[in-house]
Amino acid sequence: MENREIILSVKNLNVRFSLRGKSLHAIRGVSLDVFKGESLAIVGESGSGKSVLTKNFIGLLDKNGRIDSGEILYAGMDLAKFTTEKEWAKIRGKKIAMVMQDPMTSLNPLKTIGWQISEALILNRGMKRAEAKAAAIDILKDVGINEPQRRYRQYPHEFSGGMRQRVVIAIAVACGPEILICDEPTTALDVTIQSQILGLIKTLCRKYEMTTIYITHDLGVVANVADRIAVMYAGDIVEIGTADEVFFNPQHPYTWALLSSLPQLGEKGKELYSIKGTPPKLFGVIKGDAFAPRNPQALKIDYLVRPPYFEVSPTHKARTWLLDPRAPKIEPPEIIKRLHDLEQEGEAGEADE
């Protein structure tokens, strides 16, 4: 994995917001390498900074936010130093594209679907109108829209939610970006559509050799699509590893909690595992491990010093004092083992094939 080419590298990034006269430390020293061609999932609850982090990659940080320190290296440029729209115009859409949660916010209700896709092609790829139309119809076919010729002339309101999201993906893919960021692409959709859309993104990324970054709050959703998973809590990546490592050998108590509280694992008549309390507000200084106040097994050191990354394997590291040799041995919750059972089921399935 180390030999793989790094396409985007975040180095010790700090982002602050000023909110009602107070300063909010939304991203607290995040470092992250994204490899070419992989699909990375960033998982965290609302307010964990997962969206804020990725918004920095396309220069869409809210007006009251600013990058305090750190670098975002992409194609030899430091995106963190970008200030003008002109600079961003070269990156946004063309090199790094984003699919938002609500498809309606990214579509213009007054223009036909076809116009919107070909406009993207004309602007970003310099195509002629007729050429763009042909390409747009091809892309519509690619994202699984039947009768693309007819659909080309329709308006967004004539499409269902799932179909609209397909169109948004089509527009994002149309410009041939290297990195596709999907911000909760399926949260607003029905479950049956959800898996179709995820499948579509997966196929397209393979076809066009794109690197994908998923942002979601639901670990269950990304099991299917992510090669690697980064777990974010309170503006920091607390654990990162391959999907199998994070699911089957989680190390950080927060990852344990996230996995254990999945309702799919619940047993009737028993309490579901639940995380107590609410995430911290990021005003002021957070000392130690941000998750400590909600962690029943927190150590004293967790309240004092922020843990460094401990390496579990070359691809897997976690920020928790539990991995320090001086720490007591604390077993992950029982329920995590049921995931291993599910793993066995999975292997049994493999044997069947």
Partner 1 sequence: MAAKKPLFNRQMRRISELDANIQAGLAREEAERAKQAEAEIETVDYTPEQIAALDPALFEPAGFNEEDAERTGYSNYSYWASTFKNFWRNKVARVLIIALIAVLLFAFLQPIFPGQHDPVTINNDPETGIQLMNLAPSSEYWFGTNAIGQDLWARVWAGTRVSVFIGLVVALSDLVVGVIIGMIWGYVRKVDKVMTEIYNVISNVPQTLILILVSYILRPSITTIIISMCMVGWMAMARFIRNQVVIFRDRDFNLASRCLGTSTFRIITKNLLPQMVSVIMLQTALAIPGAIGDEVFLTYIGLGLPTSQASLGNLVEAGRVLMMQKELRYQLIFPAAVVAFITIAFYIIGNAFSDAADPKNHV
Partner 2 sequence: MSKWTEARARTPLVSVRNIDVTFGNGRNAFKAVDNVSFDIYRGETFGLVGESGSGKTTIGRAIIRINKVSAGDILYEGKRISGKIDRECDREVIRNIQMIFQDPMASLNERAKIDYIISEGLMSVNHGMSAAERKEKVEQALLDVGLLPEFASRFPHEFSGGQRQRIGIARCLVMNPSFIIADEPISALDVSIRAQVLNLLSRLQQERGLTYLFIAHDLSVMRFITNRIAVIYKGVIVELAETEELFRHPLHPYTKVLLSAVPVPNPRVERKKKVLVYDPGCHHYSDGERPVWAEVVPGHFVRGSERELDAYSEERDK
Which residues between 260 and 299 bind partner 2 (CB under 8 A)?
Answer: 261-268, 271-276, 278-279
| Residue 347 touches partner 2, criterion: CB under 8 A | yes
Q: What's the rounded Cα separation, in Å, for the pair 185 and 103? A: 8
| Residue 257 touches partner 2, criterion: CB under 8 A | yes
Instruction: Tell me how many degrees the CA angle 34-39-43 measures, rounded to the nearest 5.
Output: 85
| Residue 324 touches partner 1, criterion: CB under 8 A | yes
| Residue 28 touches partner 1, criterion: CB under 8 A | yes
Of 72 and 197, the one with the shorter C-beta distance to partner 2 is: 197
Tokens linked to 166: 């397909």
Tokens linked to 127: 């195509």
Q: What's the rounded Cα separation, in Å, for the pair 52 and 50? A: 6
Of 18 and 313, the one with the shorter C-beta distance to partner 1 is: 18
**Per-position x/- string for 168-197, each x denoting binding to partner 2 as judged by CB under 8 A, each - no binding:** ----------------------xxxxxxx-
| Residue 295 touches partner 1, criterion: CB under 8 A | yes
Choose among partner 2, partner 1, none what residue 293 binds, the Cβ cut-off being 5 to 8 Å by kind.
partner 1
Alpha helices in 75-190 (DSSP H): 85-91, 103-106, 113-125, 129-142, 148-151, 161-174
Of 1 and 304, the one with the shorter C-beta distance to partner 1 is: 304
CB 204 within 8 A of CB 143: yes
| Residue 258 touches partner 2, criterion: CB under 8 A | yes
Instruction: Report the nearest approach of partner 1 to the CB of residue 143 (Å).
Output: 33
Provide the 8-state DSSP code for 80.
G
The per-residue b/e assignment along 142-177, b for 16 or more CB within 10 angstroms, e otherwise, is bbbbeebeebbebebeebeebbbbbbbbbbbbbbeb
Choose among partner 1, partner 2, none what residue 33 binds, the Cβ cut-off being 5 to 8 Å by kind.
none
- Which residues share a beta bridge with 23? 18
| Residue 29 touches partner 1, criterion: CB under 8 A | yes
Q: What's the rounded Cα separation, in Å, for the pair 98 and 157? A: 21
Look at the alpha carbons of 294, 298, 300, 304 in this order and tell me if their dihedral is positive or negative. negative
Q: What's the rounded Cα separation, in Å, for the pair 165 and 91? A: 22
Among 75, 149, 304, 337, interactor with partner 1 by CB under 8 A? 304
Which residues between 301 and 340 bind partner 2 (CB under 8 A)?
Answer: 339
**Per-position x/- string for 63-82, each x denoting binding to partner 2 as judged by CB under 8 A, each - no binding:** --------------------
Instruction: Report the nearest approach of partner 2 to the CB of residue 295 (Å).
Output: 13
Give the footprint of partner 2 on this chain (CB under 8 A).
45-47, 161, 190-196, 199, 217-221, 223-224, 226, 243-244, 247, 257-259, 261-268, 271-276, 278-279, 339, 342-343, 345-347, 349-350, 353
